[in-house]
Amino acid sequence: MQLPLNGKFVFEYPDKMNMTLYNVPIFLSNYKGIFKGLAPAGTAYGGGKRKYIRTEKTKGKTLHLIQVNPPPKQNIKEIFMWINDENGNPDYLSIKYRDGTNVESENSFKNEFKYSLPDSQKALLKSKIFNAKASVKYKEYKINKK
């Protein structure tokens, strides 16, 4: 099943994010909070214990695998990030939540407004409630505007 949704995503460095989706189907309306919470970037750099695992070559890229264990009070239990050596962005993420939810994502970035910003994301979400594939295309950036 494909659900073309539109929405607004607001991120405030390092750890605040909120996504508002428009025209959400009724079966997802019970899970409004699923897109709110601490951002993985803030979790990774805001007090989590980081550990270098290894460097590997994938698709002609050099990636550094980093494991992050956030403080126990956070909903995110563990993050694995494959950081691109060329631009410092996470090409791949594996996020494990304390409630058993897992998110695996492949990410691409673009340079816009002098920043390296997310361009697209393909994700696989697995939880006790549902499994889903998501494909996100980011566009129409507004930097430091509400």
Question: pLDDT tens for residues 104-137?
Answer: 999 998 888 788 888 888 888 888 887 888 888 8
Q: In what order do the strands lie in the sheet with 102-112?
A: 49-58, 61-69, 76-84, 90-97, 102-112, 115-126, 131-137
Report yes or no on 144 lying in a domain.
Answer: no
Structural domain of 115: 6-137
Report yes or no on 143 lying in a domain.
Answer: no
Q: Copy the structure tokens of residue 29.
A: 């309306």
* Distance (Å, whole) CA 95 – CA 141: 25
Integer Rg of the chain from CA: 16
Report yes or no on 146 lying in a domain.
Answer: no
Report yes or no on 145 lying in a domain.
Answer: no
CA proximity to 82, closest of 103, 101, 67: 67
Query: Where are the alpha helices (H) located in the chain, listed in sequence order?
Result: 26-29, 40-45
pLDDT-wise least confident of 44-58, 72-86, 131-145:
131-145
CA proximity to 66, closest of 75, 15, 100, 85: 85
The Cα-based distances of 47 to 1, 68, 74, 134, 138 in angstroms read: 38, 10, 10, 29, 28
Report yes or no on 1 lying in a domain.
Answer: no
Total domains in the fold of the chain: 1
How confident is the model over 13-66, as pLDDT tens digits?
A: 655 666 777 776 666 655 555 555 455 555 555 667 889 999 999 989 999 999
Q: Band of the pLDDT at 101, cuts 50, 70, 90?
A: confident
Report yes or no on 142 lying in a domain.
Answer: no
